[in-house]
A and B are shown apart, each in its own frame.
Chain A
Amino acid sequence: MIELFHLSKNFGNFPAVKDVTLQIPRGEIFGFLGPNGAGKTTTIRMMAGLMKPTSGRVFLDGKDVLRQPEEAKSILGFIPDRPYLYEKLTGQEFLEFIADLRGLEAGNSQQKKIGELLNFFDLQGWSQELVESYSHGMRQRLVIAAALLPRPKVLIIDEPMVGLDPKGTRLVKGLFRDLAHKGVAIFMSTHTLELAEEVCQRIGIINEGKVIALGNMQELREKAKTTDARLESLFLKLTGEEEAEELLG
């Protein structure tokens, strides 16, 4: 369960996120959409404990990220938008490091789990290479593997498909559905509207720091006062970018 209560963040005088309140229950895949600079990444960074909110609170499975950071983060899997990793570790060593950092029991079971994840993400052949030699897509797959290693109850993802090839994209879609089926709450920010439409049960649209629409596809259609079935049209209408599109002809 993910809960955001009146979450706000100001950078100096600029309000990047304004009073965001959301609840994502167990087993739900929630899509968080918005134009560039709308406040998606800032919201996600506050949820993952990388940024301190100006006001408001974030709870992951009932644990306050700001006041009980270690407890909250122990059930969290986080996938950032840019997969910066330790360049001088091999893929295998990176996963071992994450396992130890998250307090997973060392030994055969840890090695088995790491092996399974490397296999699943097609990284077995690269596991002994330094991360500095990985492509963007391989880094992204390694980060997803690392996020799944401690069997998280909450998964927060910023742009999951960047750099992934069609096979990787399909793999990840299936994985998210499977995780949600097992009760994991997934919060996902993305610009890939087809992905959001395909896998998310509910969608929130943020614009200029405020959540302007929230609900399933039908509820969004009602909010946008349109019968158009496509999320793309709804998104453009709700974020006021339809006019810009018309200008482009």
Chain B
Amino acid sequence: MNRVLTKAWPILLRPQIMGLTNHWRHPEKGSLWKPLILACLAVGFWALTFFVFQRVLLYFRSVELFGDLLASKLMAMMLLTFFSILLFSNMISSLSTFFLSEDLHLVLSCPVSFNRLYYARLTETAIHSSWMVLLFGLPVFFAYGWVYRSSLDYYLVLIGTLIPFLIIPAALGTLFSMILVNIFPARRTKEILFLLSISLVIGLYFLLRFLQPERLVNPESFAGLVEYFIALNTPSWPFLPSFWATESLLPFYQGNQASSSFFLGLLWSTAAAMVVLGNWASRVLFFDGWNKSQEARRARLTQSPFVNRLIQKISRPLDPRMKALATKDFKSFFRDTTQWSQLILLSALVVVYLYNFSVLPLDKSPLPTFFLQNLLSFLNMGLAGFVLAAVAGRFVFPAVSLEGSSFWIIRSSPVSLRSFLRSKFWMSLLPLLILAEVLIFLSNYFLRVSPFMMILSAVTIFFMTFGIVSLGIGVGAIYPRFRVENAAQIASGFGGFFYMILSMLFIGGIVILEAGPVYTIFMAEFHHRALSFWEWTGIALSFAGVAVLMGVAVIVPMRMGLKKISARDF
């Protein structure tokens, strides 16, 4: 009986497979071109990654003595990075699939053996966690094959290598999370792992940035970098699956004599052993862990009297209803680890953004420093706008959708939807304004720009932020996603994509409209001459255009959002 049940474990994956099939068979009205756009983006991304890696590898190959070594070190580092990411992402994913999924109540009430459950959930975990790494990785592997003119064998071994390479972290990650859930409650473990993985991403981000990859194009510093690459010992640790994967692929693209069958054997036998071990462990650990994952928990920091008094003080000037909404949003945000932890990512983004300006070699440029500083400052306005739009895409656009299924509370209470949207607008505007001004002020400080440029940037970004926030709230109300399980999914839909496009157009429009007058003023200053009447008229018209565009961006999205959400049945 048990044998038959174990064989039939793929049946447990049927709801997921059928859900996906039905999604394609019965697309939502007007959603046919959404997958088309996403497919185009994916192809574009693949093409770009392939192109960049192909250039880098060709460049490496042109370096005598070190070239092939650099290429294999790069592959080793990449596989090590993939392995770490896979391990973390499998740990987080397995917490959901094994312990937190809503459908577990149904599955566990059916006569399903733990064996079947383990295999089905392990497959689901591995697919969830690995598709992104595959998406990022495949064009890189293809670039290796292309540059080294590898035969078909390389691609066959690549498949044979990648399958166990994805299974090992899935089985290992699942095993770790089963142990962790037996020590901590599942929700708390998920938060800890989420924070750890965010720290890992930030660590990698800082590492890559502070390595200063731009030095690769500078021959003076290249020798030092080669030494650094060669000195890297970590990826060569022979007990890591990433090392085995590197060694099994190496002979097929660099054509040396080493045999890969030993390392392929290691990968496959370890993968099989991990799955068997994981299955044994799940019989002992799963059910106890599942019981623990049902435990309740308390709010900590945001329930302390000090924090409550602070919130009361900050929100005192607000109208009582707006204050209630703001307090609720603030507490919900800081109690949801998947939400607040993104602030850490945001801080890393800002630090690196400012760091980039602090290391700009302005003095080495052939252009006059005064001209370059102000040109960069002008471009920086657009760049900072894009950063703000990206941040708003993550925090402002989902503001309406975050009400989720609880939106009935707002709709059935005596609060107008206009006040509701306004409260969301003001709540989002304040932190974004602070971020915008900090970005602009500090980057301009590092650029040592003229006072005119400093004031122009500060004022432009100030009003631009109003437009970005209004677009975020407005488009978020036009395309709300009240029924997503994870807040991170809200921005990844069509509405989020549409918002980003509109924001880019808005920011681009402002930059283009201001470029003319700024250029005219600088040229006049550079040549020490006064502006003519027609120049003044042009400047006035351009700035009037900027004002109109900003006005439209602030008013129109909020109005359309209000109209759409008012007409929506709930």
Contacts and interface: CB of A to CB of B under 8 A. Distances in A.
> Which of A45, A69, A70 has the most chain B CB atoms inside 10 A of its CB?
A69
A136 B415 CA distance: 27
Contacts of B404: 84
B561 to A, nearest CB: 17
B414 A74 contact: yes
B218 interface: no
Interface string B539-570: 00000000000000000000000000001011
Contacts of A73: 412-414
Contacts of A71: 414
A49 B415 CA distance: 11
Contact of A101 (B295, B325, B569, B570): B325
Interface string A67-102: 001111110101010101111111001001111111
Interface residues of A, number: 39
Interface in B331-375: 331-332, 335-336
Interface in B29-67: none
A100 B409 contact: no
B163 interface: no
Nearest to A47: B412
A178 interface: no
A123 to B, nearest CB: 14
B406 interface: yes
Contact of A70 (B297, B328, B414, B569): B414
B299 A88 contact: yes
Interface in A29-44: none
A86 B413 CA distance: 15
A50 B412 contact: yes
B327 interface: yes
Nearest to B320: A100
A59 to B, nearest CB: 15
A49 B405 CA distance: 15
Given A97-B328, A133-B296, A106 B320 contact: yes
Contacts of A90: 299, 303
A88 B414 contact: no
> Which of A48, A97, A129 has the most chain B CB atoms inside 10 A of its CB?
A97
Contacts of B188: none
Nearest to A78: B412
A88 B340 CA distance: 13
A100 B299 contact: no
B323 interface: yes
Contact of A128 (B298, B321, B406, B408): B298
A51 interface: yes
Contact of A45 (B325, B406, B567, B569): B569
B416 interface: yes
Interface residues of B, number: 32
B321 A103 contact: yes
B292 to A, nearest CB: 14
Nearest to A134: B296
A86 B330 CA distance: 12
Contacts of B297: 130, 133
B405 A82 contact: yes
A52 interface: yes
Contacts of A87: 332
A88 B303 contact: no
B324 interface: yes
B283 interface: no
Interface string A99-142: 11111001000000000000000000000111011000000000
> Which of B298, B406, B412 has the most chain A CB atoms inside 10 A of its CB?
B412
B411 interface: yes
A129 B298 CA distance: 5
Contacts, number: 95
B325 A84 contact: no
Given A70-B414, A73-B412, A101 B405 contact: no
A88 B337 CA distance: 11
A131 to B, nearest CB: 10
B465 to A, nearest CB: 27
Contacts of B328: 86, 89, 93, 97
Interface in B298-316: 298-299, 303
Nearest to A104: B320
Nearest to A69: B416
Nearest to B336: A88
Nearest to A133: B296
Contacts of B411: 48-50
Interface in A1-59: 45, 48-52
Interface string B392-433: 000000000000111011111111100000000000000000
A128 B415 CA distance: 26
A103 B414 contact: yes
Contact of A100 (B324, B408, B412): B324
A93 B331 contact: yes
A195 B321 CA distance: 36
A29 to B, nearest CB: 20
B413 A51 contact: no
B37 to A, nearest CB: 27
A51 B569 contact: yes
Contacts of B325: 101
B296 A102 contact: no
B40 to A, nearest CB: 32
Contact of B569 (A52, A80, A100): A52
Contacts of B336: 88
Contact of A88 (B295, B321, B332, B408): B332
B300 to A, nearest CB: 10
30 contacts: A45-B570, A48-B408, A50-B411, A50-B412, A50-B570, A51-B569, A52-B569, A69-B416, A70-B415, A70-B416, A73-B412, A73-B413, A80-B408, A84-B406, A85-B406, A85-B409, A87-B332, A90-B299, A90-B303, A93-B331, A96-B324, A97-B327, A98-B413, A99-B324, A100-B324, A101-B409, A102-B413, A128-B298, A129-B296, A130-B298
Interface of A: 45, 48-52, 69-74, 76, 78, 80, 82, 84-90, 93, 96-103, 106, 128-130, 132-133, 146
Instruction: In the A-B complex, list the 4 residue pairs whose CB atoms are closest, starting with the nearest.
Output: A133-B296, A100-B324, A84-B405, A74-B414
Given A50-B412, A51-B570, A82-B405, 5 more contacts: A71-B414, A78-B412, A88-B299, A89-B328, A100-B327
